[in-house]
Structure 1
Amino acid sequence: MENIYYYFTSVGPECRCCCTTHFKLMIPIHGMVNLITLGGRKMISDSEMCLLPFQEIYSVSSSVSNESLVIAIPEDYAAFYFKDALDRREGLSWQIDATWQSIKDLMLTETANNNKEGVSLLLNYVLQKIADQPVSTSIRFINKHYTEKIDIKSLAAMEHYTPSYYCDWFKRKMSMTPLEYIHYLRIHRAKELLRDSKLSVLTISYQLGYEYNASFTKMFKKYERLSPSEYRAASNS
């Protein structure tokens, strides 16, 4: 715990440039903070939490009254949770639901009382929850809605990027385009259904969002080098 430290801070309208060798968990208490990373600009409100960029230049500013709790976490401590995903969590932010609100309230209480043991226990829980999260709002959305029609403009808006920049950013992050990732998730699920269910190939294709069975078969062959029927037969042999 001796290498973990925390402090309360506020920022003004002038951009404050930062670059840190620590991961920093930012918990806004009130107001909004403008975060600019290499990937673009985000507004972080007091209904969100944010993991600030690691070993990258970024800047923070705000035009309104604000205060945040910042917890600085050494790389080796964070690496225990994030492992190989360290470079894929730049400016990660997420909405606070009821569970996160309880964590936030407890964290503010423990830090205000300078209870380092309590902060450490809560931080372990927070880092594990962060590690379990996909890397961005848009990817979380895709993971939940990949069987539906998904508009690139809407995905880009979730990250506050232009569609063109978003596609480039996504490919750097995921080593595939957004559309390729959607098809990857669909085919992965199709393989499970073909192995473990009695559903027809046509029904599976509709469930996964393919309007035409031929489109599903073509995409399945692209990924698996087999047709859905051939894959099912091979899996059950």
Structure 2
Amino acid sequence: MEQLSHAVCEIRRYPGKCLTHKHSFGQLLFALEGRMMIDTGPQFLELEEDQCYYLPPHCVHTFEAKDRHQFLVVDVPLRFLQSNHQQVQADHHGRLISLDERLRSLRFLLLDESGRGASSSGPLDDLVHYLSKAILTQPKYRSIEYIHAHFNEPITIEQLAAVEHYHPAYYQQWFKKITGKNPSEYIRELRLNEAERLLRETAWSVTDIACHVGYSHPASFIRAFVRHRGVTPHVFRQNI
């Protein structure tokens, strides 16, 4: 399998048929025009304009470009990724990234470099190294961000899996690898941590706090709090 010594940055078009392969280097795909279907097994999505997709090394993927299209493709040498192994090991099936202002600026620089050819390998390597580190060492998982924004509302595994474009069964395995907890444990911990804060900082009743953090019945909240802290909410507040 081909090994890369330097980063490669090109604008590419693909034949309008399904292709399946893998490569020994990482790859960043920026949709400039049109769409691309990407299937890595547990993850299936369509990459659209103003999005980026990271494909890790050795990830078998099937893809098909849709309609009129062009993509900015960055092949990332393995040596750029090895130092970030601990941070990215859970991303072995890829990651969809929405472009913020900083990433749009980096994409613009990559587009400029794509027209310079092999002679710009030094500056391009520096740019791709920076980009890969920025993306991969500060992971932002959209379903986890969703949980933090909506933890006091009903949330299903199907909802969370859809946010990450994963099948629900795989999503639970992926989530535990990322956080060390299953989704229900993670949500429960967020709710009870917020309940602790409210018990410390407000005079709200236990019933009001239970409702605010997402429990329909105060009794369910009290049982969960006792398992979490070993005391009832009333006793916890008295001991502050």
- Please report the TM-score for the alignment, with normalisation by the length of structure 1: 0.78
Give the unaligned 5+ runs of structure 2.
none
Report the equivalent of 2:123. Answer: 117
Partner of 2:16: 13
2:60 pairs with 1:57: yes
**In structure 2, distance between residues paired with 1:155 and 1:83:** 25
1:132 matched to 2:135: no
Q: CA deviation at 1:129?
A: 4.2
Q: Tell me: CA distance 1:168–1:18, structure 2 relative to 1, closer, same or farther (3 Å).
A: same
Q: Report how far residue 217 of structure 1 moved.
A: 2.1
**Deviation per residue, 1:152-197 (Å, 9 max, x gap):** 33333334455455445545554543322211222233344555x2
Quote how far apart the aligned CAs of 1:106 are: 2.8
Q: Distance in 2 between matches of 1:42 and 1:27?
A: 14
**AA partner of residue 181 (structure 1):** Y
Query: Highest CA radius of gyration, 1 or 2?
Result: 2
User: Partner letter of residue 33 of structure 1?
Assistant: M
Superimposed CA distance per residue, residues 98-153 of structure 1 (whole angstroms, 9 cap, x where no aligned partner): 44333322321233345542662465155324432333x32332222212222433
Cα distance in 2 for partners of 1:32, 1:49 equals 11
Once the two structures are TM-superposed, the CA of residue 83 in structure 1 deviates from its matched residue by: 4.5
Please state how far the C-alpha of 1:57 moved relative to its aligned partner: 1.3
Question: How far off its partner does 1:7 sit?
Answer: 2.7
Whether the 8 Å CA contact 2:7–2:125 is kept in 1: the answer is no
Gaps of 5+ in 1: none
Aligned Cα root-mean-square deviation (Å): 3.1
Determine which structure has greater relative contact order: mean sequence separation of CA pairs < 8 Å that are 6+ residues apart, divided by chain length. 2
Identity over the aligned pairs, expressed in percent? 23
Structure 1 30/216 Cα, relative in aligned 2: closer, same or farther at 3 Å? same
User: What residue is the counterpart of 1:34 in the other structure?
Assistant: 37
Contact preservation (8 Å) 1:201, 1:229: no
CA distance in 1, matches of 2:149, 2:125: 32
The alignment status of 1:144 with 2:146, answered yes or no, reads: no
Change (3 A) 1:6 1:231: farther
Q: How far did residue 232 of structure 1 move? A: 5.0
Q: Which amino acid aligns with 2:86?
A: D
Q: Is the 8 A contact 1:79 1:86 kept in 2?
A: no
1:49 CA drift (Å): 0.7
The whole-number CA distance in structure 2 between the counterparts of 1:17 and 1:147 is 41
Q: Which amino acid aligns with 1:96?
A: L
Paired residues in the alignment total 232
Distance 1:233 1:85 in 2: 41
Matched, 1:225 2:230: yes
**CA shift for structure 1 position 42:** 1.0
